[in-house]
Chains A and B, each alone.
Chain A
Amino acid sequence: MIIAENLRKEFKAKKGEIIQAVKGVSFHVRRGEIFGFLGPNGAGKTTTINMLCTLLRPTSGRALLNGYDVTEQPHSVRRSIGLVFQDPSLDERLTAWENLEFHGMIYGMTRLHRRREIDKILSMVELDKRKDDLVKTFSGGMRRRLEIARGLLHNPEILFLDEPTLGLDPQTRSHIWGYLHQLRKENHITIFLTTHYMDEAENSDSIAIIDHGEIVALGTPEGLKEKVGGDIIYLKAADNKKAAEFVKRTYGYDVKNGGDGISFEVEHGEEFLPSFIKNTDFEIHSVGVRRPTLEDVFLKLTGHAIREESVDFMESIRAHVRVKRRG
């Protein structure tokens, strides 16, 4: 459904220096699949989406969506896809219904077809009672639901979701995921998702982990977690430094600092823990075992946590996009 081959995008910065936002990514997405693009802010997720949906021209490489080339057949690509952007993109001064009508018209849907689909989709996202209210009066969650409804209105083959639940409360997030799973079951739609929320990425059938413009790992959530190997032991000690040195010295494990404690991988966590505690010569505040998460996968592959990324890089990319747009 989506084929990307060595897709690259460079932006020119002020002093002739070139920023490589995406450094040649390749991946395949099958029909009906939920494909997650996981990475920190500024990793190149949005730039990749913008290339796939014809908003940005790739510097090099090729992408096919629904069999159409993004640079050669942009109109066919656009007709095949629905988009929910990272930043809000509704007209606040129009009503929910008018926003959808605008969309239906500009996608060339006939009046009758348009009206039927708008009613249907509005009740799906439970906004039918608010359809004649100005979007200005909507909450963040309602706006997001309306944007998802709009992205689906013209019945696309592929739905792009760029950080679909960014800044939403957990309840709204699970609500939105409810629709998406329902959609996928009923319409066999292909979903391409970017996120930096680990739990959100868990919804995907396949995940590509992207960091600094490169895909560092590709696979199913389970497959990726197997890369970590065993279990994760996490502990908080009175002196974390001392604890880390002890683990390195005694067991030779690679210790990672995270938050206010340390963590390391072992083969069989439950069996390891009792003997470990007996051996320690320092004060432990808390200790536990858990299965690896995508967070651990990310940490292992890139050497840094997904959230600690500074926003500077993202900001600089955005600034460049803005400059580009002026031309």
Chain B
Amino acid sequence: MSNNLMGIYTIWLRDLRRFLRDKSRIVGATVQPVLFLLFLGTGLSKGLTISFPGDDQAGYLTFIYPGIIGMSILFTSVFSAISIVWDREVGFLKEVMVAPIARWAVAIGKALGGSTVAMFQGAVMLIFAPLVGVKIGLGTILILIPLMLFVGLSLTSMGIVAAAYMNSMQGFTVIMNFIMLPMFFLSGAMFPISKLPLWLGVLVRINPLTYGVDLLRSATITMNHFSVAVDIGVVGTFGLIMTALAVIMFSRQEG
């Protein structure tokens, strides 16, 4: 058991080290959500007449801000998990697979590594809070950190499951177009989900990220559609299922 704990820690540490070292990746992963937030967000809030709490530009920007943090966590989590495919391509995965630790420990280490990295990336987004008129105190940050880890963990596990079906990094576009973008667009990150046509409302409600975004929104701007208990319940259940699947897939893998 202590071996497996050490294995989890080792795999987690490697992900963290690689993340902190790769400055261009941090910058790259920050630019995209910032583009959404500042350009798309400002453009939409000015160009369309929709009423949001506050009724001004800050209203829409404030509204999408937690959603953009969610986007950042989603993309970083899945990307970290997909790095398993890269590890397999460059051969490093073999080094891990022949180590005297259990396969479930490899999966858990990877899931924790990815979610920690996603949490950091989400935390970088907090810097932009003043720009969109959101006041974030120390208390909020202390609540957000575990929440971001929590949401990140379920999404990283989902990414690990996806990685098990991928043959090469080329499959990433498929994951991007068929999992990540639909999940993001259907999460209510960019629009309120209360007045949607039925078909869209259904899709939004079966998307686990919707509840993750709702959770982040209630923590940052105290605005939520579902209750916190429902949010935590859905994200937690989804996370447990995905982690279990990730563990099973890793245990079955040969090579």
The closest CB in chain B to the CB of A88 belongs to B91
Q: Which of A79, A103, A321 contacts B255 (CB 8 A)?
A: A321
Q: Which residues of chain A have C-beta atoms less than 8 A from B166's C-beta?
A: 326
CA distance A108 to B13 in the complex (A): 15
Q: Which of A92, A94, A323, A325 contacts B253 (CB 8 A)?
A: A325
Q: Decide yes or no whether A85 CB sits under 8 A from chain B.
A: yes
Q: Decide yes or no whether B100 CB sits under 8 A from chain A.
A: yes
* Cβ–Cβ contact B94 & A322, under 8 A: no
Q: Which residues of chain A have C-beta atoms less than 8 A from B17's C-beta?
A: 94, 98
* Cβ–Cβ contact B94 & A85, under 8 A: yes
Task: Give the distance to chain B from A184, nearest Cβ to Cβ, in Å.
Answer: 22
Q: Decide yes or no whether B179 CB sits under 8 A from chain A.
A: no
B1-24 vs A, CB cutoff 8 Å, 1 = contact: the mask equals: 011001101110110011001100
CA distance A78 to B90 in the complex (A): 21
CA distance A102 to B10 in the complex (A): 6
* Cβ–Cβ contact A83 & B98, under 8 A: yes
Q: Decide yes or no whether A291 CB sits under 8 A from chain B.
A: no
* Cβ–Cβ contact B164 & A326, under 8 A: yes
Residues A298-324 near B (CB distance < 8 A): 321-324
Q: Which residues of chain B have C-beta atoms less than 8 A from A53's C-beta?
A: 98
Q: Decide yes or no whether A54 CB sits under 8 A from chain B.
A: yes
Q: Which residues of chain A have C-beta atoms less than 8 A from B18's C-beta?
A: 91, 93-94
Task: Give the distance to chain B from A161, nearest Cβ to Cβ, in Å.
Answer: 14
Q: Which of B99, B164, B254, B255 contacts A106 (CB 8 A)?
A: B99
* Cβ–Cβ contact B14 & A89, under 8 A: no
Q: Decide yes or no whether B195 CB sits under 8 A from chain A.
A: no
* Cβ–Cβ contact A89 & B255, under 8 A: no
Given contacts A89-B92, A91-B92, A93-B18, contact A55 B99 (CB under 8 A): no
CA distance A322 to B167 in the complex (A): 7
CA distance A253 to B100 in the complex (A): 55
Residues B91-149 near A (CB distance < 8 A): 91-92, 94-102
CA distance A56 to B99 in the complex (A): 14
* Cβ–Cβ contact A105 & B253, under 8 A: no
CA distance A69 to B20 in the complex (A): 41
Task: Give the distance to chain A from B97, nearest Cβ to Cβ, in Å.
Answer: 6
Q: Which residues of chain A have C-beta atoms less than 8 A from B21's C-beta?
A: 93
Most buried by B among A57, A78, A91, A324: A91
Q: Which of B92, B102, B252 contacts A90 (CB 8 A)?
A: B92
* Cβ–Cβ contact A107 & B100, under 8 A: yes
Q: Decide yes or no whether A327 CB sits under 8 A from chain B.
A: yes
A-B contact pairs, 11 of them (CB 8 A): A78-B98, A78-B99, A89-B90, A94-B14, A102-B10, A105-B7, A105-B9, A106-B99, A324-B255, A326-B164, A327-B254
Q: When A and B form their complex, which 3 residue pairs have the shortest distance between CB atoms, in order from nearest?
A: A89-B91, A78-B100, A105-B10
